[in-house]
Structure 1
Amino acid sequence: MEPVEINAGAWYLRALRADERIDDRPALAEGGITDPDYVAIRTAQWDAETHFSWAVCEPTTAELVAEIIVTPTGDTSADLSGWARSGYEPALETGATAVRRFMEGALGLRIP
């Protein structure tokens, strides 16, 4: 599956990136994620449909402030987790609500 972008009001959700235009790795490092292959791994997981992840971003700068991860656990269920950089917990909460609606409405996955 191709990554899906979501508008969550004050926040913009997109796939993680590490390219010539946007590099999320410095923000990921602030969140404790220092694996240089992390973005590539998350991209491959989208392709395999084993995990779905979103960078919760400031809409004007595209700066990553949080990450939301959905892991399918069965035919109709999934777990949702995430983390936020210090001070951005409200972005994580808002983004998680939007992702939950998307997963349940578009993919039929129930998130407890």
Structure 2
Amino acid sequence: MEPVEVFAGAWYLRALRDDDRLSDVGALARFDIADPADYVRDANRGWADESRFVWAVCVPTTGETVALIGVVPTGDDTADLVGVARDGHAEALSDAAGPVARFAEGALGLTTDELAETRP
């Protein structure tokens, strides 16, 4: 599956990127990710093989990544809804949870539980 962009109220959700136009590598370092470039590659492989769907939760006006949220299929038409926010940005993660859960159900046919605060 190709990555899908989602609007969540005041927040813009997009796939993680590391290319000549946009890179999330610097922002991912703020989430204590040891190898941010590898994390981006893994997240994109997850979209491609439909094993994990990860979004950067961004400020629409600046593109700044303030949270990460993901859907991780667990089998039997269920999935974990997981995410983390940078300090001071819990609202971004909270606002993204509903639209992402609806995407999981409507587009993927997966039911999610409540958001678990852990890195996707």
TM over 0.5: yes
Q: How much has 1:95 moved relative to structure 2?
A: 0.8
Q: Percent identity?
A: 57
Counterpart code for 1:75: D
Q: Deviations over 1:44-74 (max 9, x none)?
A: 1110111000000000111111000111011
Q: How much has 1:75 moved relative to structure 2?
A: 3.5
CA distance in 1, matches of 2:54, 2:47: 8
TM-score (norm 1): 0.95
3-state DSSP of counterpart to 1:47: helix
Q: How much has 1:34 moved relative to structure 2?
A: 2.8
Match of 1:47 in 2: 48
Unmatched runs of 5 consecutive residues or more in structure 1? none
Give the root-mean-square deviation of aligned CA atoms.
0.9
CA distance in 2, matches of 1:105, 1:98: 10
Q: Is 1:9 aligned with 2:25? A: no
Counterpart code for 1:78: A
3-state DSSP of counterpart to 1:70: strand
CA distance in 2, matches of 1:50, 1:94: 23
Q: How much has 1:91 moved relative to structure 2?
A: 0.1
TM-score (norm 2): 0.89
CA distance in 1, matches of 2:11, 2:45: 24
Q: How much has 1:89 moved relative to structure 2?
A: 0.6
Counterpart code for 1:98: P
Match of 2:82 in 1: 81
Unmatched runs of 5 consecutive residues or more in structure 2? 114-120
CA distance in 1, matches of 2:22, 2:88: 22
Match of 2:24 in 1: 24
Counterpart code for 1:53: V
Counterpart code for 2:27: A
The residue correspondences of 1:31-110 to structure 2 (distance < 5 A) are 31-35=31-35, 36-110=37-111
Equivalenced residues, count: 112
